[in-house]
Amino acid sequence: MHPLGFLNPLDNVHSFDPDKHIPDLAGKVIVVTGGNSGCGKETVLQVAKHHPQRIYLAARSEAKYDDAMKDISAAAPNANVKFLQLDLSSLASVKSAADQILSENDRLDILVNNAGIMAHPHGLTQDGYEIEFGTNHMGHALLTRLVLPLMQATASKPGSDVRIINVSSGAHQMAPGAGIVFAQLKTPMKSFVPARLYGQSKLANILHARELARRYPEILSTSIHPGRVETNLTNVMFDQNSFFGRFQKFFDYMAGALPVQQGTLTQLWAATWRRQEVKNGAYYVPVGKESLGSKKSQDSGLAKKLWEWTESEFAAKGY
Structural domain span for residue 221: 18-229+260-316
Tell me the β-bridge partners of 83: 57
Q: Is residue 113 part of a domain?
A: yes
% of the chain exceeding 70 in pLDDT: 87
Give 237's pLDDT tier (boundaries 50, 70, 90). Answer: very low
Q: State the catalytic residues.
A: 168, 198, 202
* For residues 125-144, average pLDDT: 99
* For residues 24-47, average pLDDT: 98
Q: Is residue 181 part of a domain?
A: yes
The pLDDT score that the predictor gives to residue 10 is: 53
Q: How far apart are the first and last CA of the chain?
A: 49
Q: Is residue 1 part of a domain?
A: no
Q: Is residue 254 part of a domain?
A: no
Q: Is residue 6 part of a domain?
A: no
- For residue 118, give the CATH number of its domain: 3.40.50.720
Residue 138, SS3? helix
Q: Is residue 10 part of a domain?
A: no
The model's pTM? 0.91
Nearest to 165 by CA among 208, 218, 215, 106: 208
The pLDDT score that the predictor gives to residue 315 is: 98
Q: Is residue 242 part of a domain?
A: no
* For residues 258-279, average pLDDT: 96
Give 244's pLDDT tier (boundaries 50, 70, 90). Answer: very low
* For residues 169-182, average pLDDT: 97
pLDDT at residue 5 tops 50: no
Q: Is residue 234 part of a domain?
A: no
For the stretch 183-231, pLDDT in tens is 999 999 999 999 999 999 999 999 999 999 999 999 999 999 999 876 5
Give 258's pLDDT tier (boundaries 50, 70, 90). Answer: confident
Tell me the β-bridge partners of 222: 165
* For residues 24-28, average pLDDT: 98
Long-range contacts of 94-101 (CB under 8 A, 24+ apart): 94/139, 94/142, 94/143, 94/146, 95/142, 95/146, 95/319, 97/58, 97/143, 98/142, 98/143, 98/146, 98/147, 99/146, 101/31, 101/56, 101/147, 101/150
Number of compact structural domains in the chain:
1
The pLDDT score that the predictor gives to residue 245 is: 46
The per-residue pLDDT of the chain, averaged, comes to 91
Give 249's pLDDT tier (boundaries 50, 70, 90). Answer: low
% of the chain exceeding 90 in pLDDT: 85
